[in-house]
Structure 1
Amino acid sequence: MKFVDEATIDIAAGNGGAGCVSFRREKFIPFGGPNGGDGGRGGSVYAVADRNLNTLIDYRYARRHEARNGEPGRGSDQFGAAAEDIVLRMPVGTIVKDAETDEVLAELLVPDEPVLLAKGGDGGFGNMHFKTSTNRAPRQKTPGWPGDQKKLRLELRVLADVGLLGMPNAGKSTLIAAISNARPKIADYPFTTLHPNLGVVRAGPDRSFVVADIPGLIEGASEGAGLGHQFLRHLQRTRLLLHLVDIAPFDEGIDPVAQAKAIVKELRKYDESLYQKPRWLVLNKLDMVPAEEREARVKDFVKRLRWKGPVFQISALARQGLDPMVQSIYEHVAAHAEKAPPEVDRRFEAEAGGADA
């Protein structure tokens, strides 16, 4: 399935049904009075986060979503039927914005929780509502209220604990395939990932976290060069960034330190808050460096980069040095996980309030 993380759609809630003008007409009841019912409510449009979806591709092709109008009122005190609401199911992590004002209308982070996007119009009043002691045969009614209509921009930001950052061909896809159940395309020739991949990493019994692999960045990405800038938004919900560096580049004329500095520079240009996130350095492809040169090359790299944070030396292809890194990542993610507030029994809350009083 094609990965789509942006879409623009039009939604329209249903209009309310019109009220009815009617009078009771029965034999032997000459002054039956008004009995025109109200119109039904128009259908509303809701959005719901669905765990089983991971792309917005459904909204790339179905761009118009309309709810039905409410039925008009009828005589004999009959109100019109309300129209059914429609529910748009979207991936968890979708941000819904008003396309005209750029206002954030909803952020779908809780699965199966409905969020109102467009309210259906209320039904109009029938002539029953206008009966008074001085106006005993009203002929007034009101039309139904119109439903909301909006143009929305949908933006998906995947929910992941850890994000992989780096140049194309740094080994991000190989790493996520080595430590998780994700199976991105990997080959022995240079190419870049075209869309984000998510993988669940098992660090032990009941110990896991989610990793996101985005397309590689290149210099000038914050101005629109390459593919990576389109997917940097997917790193904004992560708690930790792993900066993957190819310590043994395919082209000997490439300086890994210059590449690493370029990535950091592009990250800061794109979003300062993303730049401020905790970031660890992961030096990959050490199996391509002779054993006697590894220590000296790593020390030289860290010194020239002026790096002060954690450093991990791995080979994703040979699966060397992965377990200590995975355990350290899990400890960091678990320590910074958002803990739900403890549930308070309202019975004891009421008793405490009474005691204070």
Structure 2
Amino acid sequence: MFIDRAKITVKAGTGGNGMSSFRREKYVPKGGPSGGDGGRGGNIIIVGDDSLNTLVDFRYKRLFKSDNGANGQTSNMHGRSGDDLYIKVPPGTVIKEEASGQILGDIVNPGQEFIVARGGRGGRGNARFVSSTHRAPTFAELGEPGEERTLLLEMKLLADVGLIGYPSVGKSSILAKVSAAKPEIAAYHFTTLTPVLGVVSMGEGQNFVLADIPGLIEGAHTGVGLGHDFLRHIERTKVLIHVIDASGIEGRDPIDDYHKINKELKLYNERLAKRPQIIAANKMDLPEARNNYPQIADYMKELGHEIYPISAATGSGLPQLMQRAAQLLSEYVEEPEEIEEVKIYDAYPDDEFVITRDDSGAYLVSGQGIEKLVAMTNFANEEGLRRFQTIWRKMGIEDELKARGIQEGDTVRIRDMEFEFKQ
């Protein structure tokens, strides 16, 4: 089954908790702090695997979690880091974040890796908080939570040459003739509902991948019909073979069909319309096609296109067409990417925060640093709580809350923790 889109949720491992302990050897009556750090949580990594050609596995499993880090131990022993989790996808898979729609990565080559969720840092043990003024700290940090996000995976075929054209013009028949692929072929529209790949062998190791891509109709750039399901899969192709029904026996004008499809390509992505394009006038075994061909050929040549008369039914003209496609591939020069907008992201310091209020009147404090502090503080430990209060004040959160009119007993929420404000 060919599945080219999937939605998954990934949750990286939480770091292990730091340990709070003291040395208790027989001849060390006043041993110092000896709590080790927790291990890092496992990352979640997407990797390209060329043994896959579909995203069908994600129909049955959509939640992926990596291992948590192990807790720190006594005698300054650190916890083991959690194992990374690898998710295999076919080359040609684009990774997007669902919440923002931002493209996070593009897996093009086998073995290429991309970290989509980072494991949390392990909490520090109490031995890490020893200072000249604080010789026996009793607190340790909890492990940092790992990143969690929902991802959209979209597969774009990695084909060298794409067959484009209206439904039932003979694209599947061409692919079946020139390769070992077995696409479904029948005399009705949209026989091909999913892309089909085949390898065309030109001899002496000169092969290329040919894709039979579902037929296009007017309005496809807006998603009409198979729309984006069609157009997405030709974005990576280097050469396009535009198949037209030269016979016109279904009542369509092949020249009109040519213009409509190129209009859809341009409206979807102007770069697609600029790709090398060969015209394949199919069904030349029919008398109607032979009658129409001279007019079609003259018109296409005026537009600067090469045109090849072929018959997918008999195989006539296909070797010459494939030979020309292979030649254009060898001459193809990759177009530079057009960058529409350069986004500049500032690295926010950990002491930045934002205060808002919800419908109940509670004060909501958000910010990378304060949220991480809350997640990694053991509030059951009195010394850990005092450390939290000290950092909270140094960050200026308490002063800002007072400036906003907070009163004794008001509620303050940070992440999933809720506090009652006291002066």
Using the size of structure 1 for normalisation, the TM-score is: 0.89
Number of the residue aligned with 1:302: 297
Q: How does 1:59-208 map to 2 (within 5 A)?
A: 59-188=58-187, 190-208=189-207
Structure 2 Cα separation of the partners of residues 147 and 45 of structure 1: 10
1:274 deviates by 1.0
Number of the residue aligned with 1:262: 260
| Deviations 1:239-263 (CA, angstroms, capped at 9, x unpaired) | 1111100112442x33222222221
1:133 deviates by 3.7
Q: Is the 8 A contact 2:160 2:208 kept in 1?
A: yes
- Structure 2: stretches of 5+ with no match in the other structure: 335-423
Q: Is the 8 A contact 2:247 2:292 kept in 1?
A: no
Q: How does 1:262-301 map to 2 (within 5 A)?
A: 262-289=260-287, 294=290, 297-301=292-296
Q: Is the 8 A contact 2:184 2:191 kept in 1?
A: no
| Deviations 1:12-67 (CA, angstroms, capped at 9, x unpaired) | 11111111110111223211111111001101000100001111111233111111
SS of structure 1 residue aligned to 2:22:
coil
Number of the residue aligned with 1:222: 221
Number of the residue aligned with 2:398: none
Q: Is the 8 A contact 1:214 1:228 kept in 2?
A: no
Amino acid at match of 2:322: V
Q: Is the 8 A contact 2:168 2:187 kept in 1?
A: no
1:188 deviates by 4.6
Structure 2 Cα separation of the partners of residues 117 and 23 of structure 1: 38
SS of structure 2 residue aligned to 1:176:
helix
- The answer as to 2:324 corresponding to 1:325 is no
SS of structure 2 residue aligned to 1:204:
coil
- The answer as to 2:47 corresponding to 1:48 is yes
Structure 2 Cα separation of the partners of residues 223 and 337 of structure 1: 29
Q: How does 1:225-236 map to 2 (within 5 A)?
A: 225-236=224-235
Number of the residue aligned with 1:26: 25
Question: Could you tell me the percent identity over the aligned residues?
Answer: 43
Mark the CA change 1:16 to 1:190 in structure 2 (over 3 Å): closer, same or farther. closer
Q: Is the 8 A contact 2:241 2:277 kept in 1?
A: yes
Structure 1 Cα separation of the partners of residues 252 and 214 of structure 2: 20
Q: Which has the higher contact order (CA 8 A, sep 6+)?
A: 1
Number of the residue aligned with 2:310: 314
Bigger CA drift: 115-124 or 224-233? 224-233
Number of the residue aligned with 1:16: 15
Amino acid at match of 1:129: R
Q: Is the 8 A contact 2:159 2:210 kept in 1?
A: yes
Structure 1 Cα separation of the partners of residues 65 and 41 of structure 2: 11
Structure 2 Cα separation of the partners of residues 271 and 237 of structure 1: 12
Structure 1 Cα separation of the partners of residues 188 and 72 of structure 2: 69
SS of structure 1 residue aligned to 2:48:
strand
Structure 2 Cα separation of the partners of residues 203 and 313 of structure 1: 20
Q: Is the 8 A contact 1:49 1:91 kept in 2?
A: yes
Structure 2 Cα separation of the partners of residues 289 and 277 of structure 1: 32
Q: Is the 8 A contact 1:33 1:137 kept in 2?
A: yes
Amino acid at match of 2:192: T
Using the size of structure 2 for normalisation, the TM-score is: 0.75
- Structure 1: stretches of 5+ with no match in the other structure: 339-357
Structure 2 Cα separation of the partners of residues 237 and 151 of structure 1: 25
SS of structure 1 residue aligned to 2:285:
helix
| Deviations 1:315-338 (CA, angstroms, capped at 9, x unpaired) | 011010111111111111012266
CA RMSD of aligned residues (A): 1.7
Structure 2 Cα separation of the partners of residues 287 and 61 of structure 1: 47
| Deviations 1:140-159 (CA, angstroms, capped at 9, x unpaired) | 21111221111111110110
| Deviations 1:180-203 (CA, angstroms, capped at 9, x unpaired) | 121101135555201000111001
SS of structure 2 residue aligned to 1:286:
coil
Q: Is the 8 A contact 2:190 2:215 kept in 1?
A: no
1:307 deviates by 3.2
Q: Is the 8 A contact 2:13 2:41 kept in 1?
A: yes
